[in-house]
Amino acid sequence: MNQAQLIASQNTVGEFTLTGALNFSTVETLLPQSSSLWANANKVDNSIVLDLGQITHANSAG
């Protein structure tokens, strides 16, 4: 199976970080490159920091 187990945390300046078993194709599935969020994404190792101020709806897999 191709699954990602992510841990989400938010810092004091409002940046939201997803860490865990993560690869860029998984993140692209969750947040397509057409998303304006990619413009400000910092992609480093297995951590991706995004400004999620524009996101008003979040899915959670059950």
- List, for residues 3-60, the tens digit of each pLDDT value: 555 666 777 777 766 666 555 555 555 555 555 555 445 454 444 545 454 443 444 4
Measured in whole angstroms, the distance separating CA 32 from the mean position of its chain's CA atoms is 10
Q: Is the pTM of this model over 0.95?
A: no
User: How confident is the model at residue 33, as a pLDDT?
Assistant: 54
In sequence order, the 6+-apart residues with CB closer than 8 A to the CB of 5 are 20, 21
Question: How many CB atoms neighbour CB 55 within 10 A?
Answer: 12
Q: Give the residue extent of every domain in the chain.
A: 6-51
